[in-house]
Structure 1
Amino acid sequence: MSRPFEILGLQQIAVGAASKEPLRKLWVDMLGLAPSGHFVSEKENVDEDIVLLGSGPFQVEVDLMQPLDPARSPRVDQPALNHVGLWVDNLALAVEWLTAQGVRFAPGGIRKGASGHDIAFLHPKANEAFPIAGAGVLIELVQAPPEVIAAYRRGV
């Protein structure tokens, strides 16, 4: 099976809790990841701190998330491992090809993510129309910038 795109590597993991404080205590204070940014979205019901692991083009973002309103959906803390993000070299081709193969995407299509990259989410659950999905895992495809694509292809 020939794919018109390549998954390059891990871009991010997102973890959630009712409060970000225990997450910051672990990931920043205990493990030493570097705080990098903050993102809030009423639509996505999320208050998120962005911390970084590693450096350069292979740097991995760890999103520490809590719901803005725990009484409404989506609940970014359920499940606690909210999603995994993967760098892709051509997001538009990946979405088109995967959809044609029967992969289910979450509503919203391709859009800007919290870090400014174009993103699309594979739905965690399959359905009759789209029998292939994340098998319980929400997977974010993230358009890699040119320098990340080049670094992964060089293996540096």
Structure 2
Amino acid sequence: METTRPFRILGIQQIAIGGLDKGALRKLWVDTLGLTAHGTYRSEKENVDEDIVVAGAGPFKVEVDLMQPVNPDGRPKVHDPALNHVGLWVDDLAVAVKWLEGQGMRFTPGGIRKGAAGFDVCFIHPKASDQFPLSGEGVLIELVQAPPEIIRAFEQAAASAAH
């Protein structure tokens, strides 16, 4: 397997947590832990009704998506498992997807598309297949195209840490 990657994972963009009642999740994450409400997203096609809350600020802000299914019997089951997925900032999504596919990475259907927060995204499948031996090893991983200001902030933080 090739080890020189033509892209960088910059940091965590989001985590997504699901339950049958996002109200209980909101009570924990917003009312009790103090995260800030940021927005909502609903998609019948993706079977999700979510509240988007955030921790931190600026380029290091991390989304916590509190999700419940539109139809508890439908798919995908955004509440099972409860920790639905982890989103990672990537500096060049198209290059990353092409390179990872070449390494044998399995992606979910749908390819690169706009995500709930408006960024281009693509999902690494949690399970490998015969055709694609690499996967998220049980975790659904969302690769998220970082905008220029996020890339700059991470580069500045890395440069400061190096000195």
Q: Which residue, 12, 23, 26 being the options, matches 2:25?
A: 23
Tell me what 1:43 maps to.
45
Unmatched 5+ stretches in structure 2: none
**What SS class does the counterpart of residue 86 from structure 2 fall into?**
strand
Alignment of 1:60-139 (within 5 A): 60-139=62-141
Tell me what 1:143 maps to.
145
Question: Aligned partners of 2:131, 2:152: CA distance in 1, in Å?
Answer: 36
Question: Aligned partners of 1:3, 1:71: CA distance in 2, in Å?
Answer: 40
Unmatched 5+ stretches in structure 1: none
- Structure 1 position 110, deviation (Å): 0.0
- Structure 1 position 71, deviation (Å): 1.1
Structure 1 runs of 4+ aligned residues shifted over 2 Å read: none
Question: Aligned partners of 1:100, 1:129: CA distance in 2, in Å?
Answer: 12
Structure 2 residue 59 is the aligned partner of structure 1 residue 57: yes
- Root-mean-square deviation (Å): 0.6
Summarize deviations over 1:44-71 as a string: whole Å, max 9, x none. 0000000000000000000000000001
Tell me what 2:5 maps to.
3
TM, length-normalised to structure 2: 0.95
Question: Aligned partners of 2:63, 2:74: CA distance in 1, in Å?
Answer: 26
* Number of residue pairs matched by the alignment: 156
**What SS class does the counterpart of residue 38 from structure 1 fall into?**
strand
Q: Which amino acid aligns with 2:104?
A: G
- Structure 1 position 34, deviation (Å): 0.3
Structure 2 residue 36 is the aligned partner of structure 1 residue 34: yes
Q: Which amino acid aligns with 1:12?
A: Q
Q: Which amino acid aligns with 1:29?
A: D
Question: Aligned partners of 2:74, 2:41: CA distance in 1, in Å?
Answer: 18
Question: Aligned partners of 1:69, 1:91: CA distance in 2, in Å?
Answer: 31
- Greater share of residues in helix: 2
Summarize deviations over 1:110-156 as a string: whole Å, max 9, x none. 00000000000000000000000011100000000000000001107
TM, length-normalised to structure 1: 0.99
Q: Which amino acid aligns with 2:32?
A: M
Question: Aligned partners of 2:96, 2:119: CA distance in 1, in Å?
Answer: 15
Q: Which amino acid aligns with 2:43?
A: S
